[in-house]
Structure 1
Amino acid sequence: MKILLVITDYGSFNNFLAELAVNLSHENEVHVICSESNIIKIVDKFDYTKYDLTFHKIDIPRSTSIIKLIKSASKINQIIKRINPKLVYAHFTTGIFPTVFFKKRDIIYWGAFHGLGMNASSGVRKMMFSIVELFCFWRLDKIFLINNKDFSLVKSLSKRKAIKYTSCGVGCDIEKFDSSKFGELDKVAIKKELKIDDRFVITYTGRFVEFKGFDLVYKSFIKLNNEFPNKYILLLIGGKDSIHPTGLTEQEEVNLSENKDIVQVGYTSEVEKYLAISNVFLFPSKKEGLPVCIVEALAMGLPVITLDERGNSDIVKNDFNGYLVKSISKSEDITKIFEKIKYLSQHSNVAQLFSENSLRNRSLYSRDFFITEHIKLFNEFKDNEF
């Protein structure tokens, strides 16, 4: 069977859908449409040339610009006409909209929303996302959601089509994200490599963008660093995004690059090794579907501090495996984050309890659940087709 996967960029495909695509390619002809851009810059997980997998690279804008999305829709439609797949499975709002714009009647279209824009925005942006996503709901044959809030909304609008992943989002590789693989000597070596002494390590993973709470990370750390010099280290894994602001002022950007207590690792395929030396994972994002970085941190047994927002609250339980901070204002959020980190650093027994609680549910974080669930869905579709 011919299957077409559509996702905004190659980096996201490699990070989120690689294992699924490779598994599907064992018994199917799999095509992938994505842009050349590599937002999540990690090495390829597989040698994709060894599988029945064909890439079609086109420009898919990561914005709600209708004109740009319609241009990409035309290109996607041309590819669909040429390869004539039985099933098209698109991911993210900006990947789904251009895919279904010129929907062909004899092809089944599925869409997975990794966080609805209409459920995490306000004002004009909320209006724009609502128009685009409601159009997508109408055109899709199945609508996949990965968190409870989004599922509840879509179920109320289109009960027959709405499906929630039973997996923990797309999950993670729990064999890779396994803290037991790192002994004390390993951790000492990693800290030596980074020139980090024996201080409390706060880690953030992801793009340095305001809607992911990067400015809150920086400012809460500066507050900690000013009050308790030489006690904390901030470890940043990821990098800037050319189309989204960091939320920092020009002077704060300079301080970020010059602060010796902030270690910038960049994008890496070895996130687990840096999580292994961390004491707490800080990810105060307001706009998530179900964040893979939090899943990875929990799989490593790290206490997580995040905002009490959809997706985050699906996997972080307050006072169980971390803290959910109710967002009120940036200044109050920074103060609350500051207090939570300070408390965990001063009460190692609580941090240890959170860690143990995270590891109790460790098997639930596996990406295998996501793959198994989807293989079953594709097989059921194939059986019904034939």
Structure 2
Amino acid sequence: MKILIVITDYGSFNNFLAEISVALSLENEIHIICSRSNVINIVDKFDYTQYDLTFHFLDIPRTTSITKLIKSSFRIRKLVKEIKPNLVYAHFTTGIFPVILLRNKNVEYWGTFHGLGMNASTGLRKIMFSFVEMFSFIRLDKIFLINNKDFDLVKRFFSNKANKYQSCGVGCNIDKFDGNKFQESDKENIRKDLKLESKFIITYTGRFVEFKGFDLVFHSFAKLIKEYPNEFALLLVGGKDPIHITGLTLNEEGDLNNNKSIINIGYTSEVEKYLAISDVFLFPSKKEGLPVCIVESLAMGVPVITLDERGNSDIVKNNFNGYLIKSVSKSNDANEIVEKLKYLNEENHALKILSSNCMLDREIYSRSFFVQEQLSLINDFKKQNKLD
């Protein structure tokens, strides 16, 4: 069977869909459409030339440019005609819309929304996302959602098409994200290399963008070290996104770069190394589907402080494996975050209980559940359509 997978960029493919694509390629001919950009810039997980994978690179805009979207849609339609897939499976709203805008006849179209824009936006952006996503829902044959809030919304209107992943989003590699692989001596050496031997370490991973709460991380930390200048450190693992703002002023960006208590690791394929020495993972995002970075942190036994928003609240249980902050305003949210961090720094017993609770659900975080679920869905499709 021929399957065409569409995702916005190569970096996202490599980070989220590498395992399922490789697994599918063992019995199917797999084609992938994505842009060449590496929004998440890490080393390739596999030597993709060793598998039955064919990449088709074209620009899939992550903007609202109608001209670029239409141009991308025409190019995708042309590729679909050439490839003649049995199934087109697109991911993310920005990948789904240009695929479905000019859909081809006699081809099955599936789409996974890793966080609906209409469910996490306001004003004009909410109107725009509502139009784009409702249009996509109508034209897709199957709709997949990865958190409860999004699923509850879509199933009210498209109950015959809406499906929710039973896996924990796309999960993570729990063999890699395993805190037990790091001995105390390993952790001491990592801390020593970073000159953080006696610090309480707070870690943020992901893109440095406002909608993921990056500005809130900075403001909370700045407030914290003003009161406790020598007790805390902030590890930043990731980098800027060229099309989204950080939410910081130029002066604040300067303060961030010059602050000796903030260490910017950049993008790395060794995220687990830095989570191993982390006391708390701070990710106050308002716009998530089901964040992989939180799944990775929990799998490592690192308690999470995040906002009580969809996706986050699907996996973080308040006072169990972390804290959910009810968002009121950025100023209030920062104060709440600071209070939680101060408490965990002072109450090591409470921190250990949260960490221990993270490990109780560790197996459900495995990406293998996502891969097996997807293989089952596609095998059912093959059987129903009597495809080889």
Distance 1:114 1:98 in 2: 16
- When structure 1 is superposed on structure 2, of 267-276 and 190-199 the one drifting more is 190-199
Residue aligning to 2:23: 23
* Cα offsets for 1:292-332 (capped at 9, x unmatched): 00000000001100000000000000001000000000100
Residue aligning to 2:177: 177
Distance 1:174 1:85 in 2: 33
Residue aligning to 1:140: 140
Q: Which runs of 5 or more structure 2 residues have no equivalent in the other structure?
A: none
Residue aligning to 1:343: 343
Shift of 1:195: 2.2
Identity of aligned residues (%): 67
The answer to whether residue 255 in structure 2 is matched with residue 255 in structure 1 is yes
Distance 1:46 1:3 in 2: 19
Secondary structure of residue in 1 paired with 2:54: strand
Report 1:296-315 matches (<5 A). 296-315=296-315
Residue aligning to 1:70: 70
Report 1:222-233 matches (<5 A). 222-233=222-233
Residue aligning to 1:122: 122
Shift of 1:229: 1.1
Residue aligning to 2:155: 155
Secondary structure of residue in 1 paired with 2:265: strand
Residue aligning to 2:94: 94
CA contact (8 A) 1:64 1:129 kept: no
CA contact (8 A) 1:299 1:359 kept: yes
Secondary structure of residue in 1 paired with 2:70: helix
**RMSD between superposed Cα atoms in Å:** 0.6
Q: TM-score if structure 2 supplies the norm length?
A: 0.99
Shift of 1:138: 0.5
- When structure 1 is superposed on structure 2, of 62-71 and 355-364 the one drifting more is 62-71
Distance 2:343 2:142 in 1: 45
Distance 2:346 2:66 in 1: 51
Residue aligning to 2:279: 279
Residue aligning to 1:60: 60
**Aligned positions, number:** 386
Distance 2:383 2:303 in 1: 44
* Cα offsets for 1:226-275 (capped at 9, x unmatched): 10011000000000111111011110000111100000000000000000
* Amino acid of the structure 2 residue aligned with 1:303: P
Q: Which runs of 5 or more structure 1 residues have no equivalent in the other structure?
A: none
Distance 1:343 1:303 in 2: 13
Shift of 1:7: 0.1
* Cα offsets for 1:143-193 (capped at 9, x unmatched): 000000000000001000000000000000000000000011100111122
CA contact (8 A) 1:146 1:289 kept: yes
Distance 2:197 2:303 in 1: 21
Q: TM-score if structure 1 supplies the norm length?
A: 0.99
Shift of 1:69: 1.2
Runs of 4+ in 1 over 4 A off after TM superposition: none
Distance 1:157 1:12 in 2: 29
The answer to whether residue 336 in structure 2 is matched with residue 333 in structure 1 is no
The answer to whether residue 8 in structure 2 is matched with residue 45 in structure 1 is no
CA contact (8 A) 1:64 1:94 kept: no
Residue aligning to 2:265: 265
Secondary structure of residue in 2 paired with 1:119: coil
Distance 2:198 2:75 in 1: 53
Distance 1:193 1:269 in 2: 18
